[in-house]
Structure 1
Amino acid sequence: MLVKTAKTPEELQDVYRIRKEVFVEEQNVPPELEIDAFDQSATHFIAYDEETPVAAARLRITDEGYGKLERICVVKSHRGKSIGKKIMQKMEQEINQQGFHKAKLNAQIHAQDFYQKLGYEVTSGEFMDAGIPHVTMIKNV
């Protein structure tokens, strides 16, 4: 399993293809909400199983000094194989390398336990984003 920063046009296409599969096709998120203005400035991550792209995510540094972890997704066929954990660890390393020590994300309610096992704590009440219930979570990294 290889988790890396997506830098080439092909790697970025893989990122967007996975996000479309998981969020747009599987979770019915409108395409115009899935791709947004932050994609241009974010750092994107991709995970490969051999040559097959299987997970994606993006990271932004916010004005508050948080590394904001977003669009974290693993294709259905590869869930439960610790790929999500590996991509999270890679993003947390990147936050540290950029000189920051706090991570923040908006977790879909069904994934809240996954993030809690990685040390994230809920800091908000439940809210809706793209028609899906979420909570905000933070962690010192």
Structure 2
Amino acid sequence: MYSYKYPRPALTTDGIVLKKESKQLLLIQRGIEPYKGKWALPGGFMEMDELLVDACKRELMEETGLEVLELTQFTAADKVDRDPRGRTISILFYGYVAEDAVVKGGDDAAKAEWFPIDDLPELAFDHADLIARFKREILSL
């Protein structure tokens, strides 16, 4: 294993997935701590041998059963205290799916559900801020 002089943050990806017509947003209910029981964007830690976009696709499949073929990189979330487990940077991607897309919670997600983007439950981490930014910058809402 490598030894480094400087500490390294963990790297995650999060997916903002919408039904294009109805603007329903995909969220998962966390099945584990931190924020167990709270809603969040689907996502998780990147593996050492995968690209960021592939990590996001894998996490979407594991947590929701949804295969999203096309994702676009949106932003990096690097707020210092955004994750109580330690210094974590997340790369966010977004994509659209058909109105009839069906999801089911899996892996560390207790549930997966669609919510109107303007009527979301309380969210874990900094996800409310990130979704608000996405609405302003990408959806022009």
TM-score, structure 1 length as denominator?
Answer: 0.30
* Structure with greater helix share of residues: 1
TM-score, structure 2 length as denominator?
Answer: 0.30
The answer to which structure, 1 or 2, has the higher relative contact order (CA under 8 A, 6+ apart) is 2
Bigger-Rg structure (1/2): 2
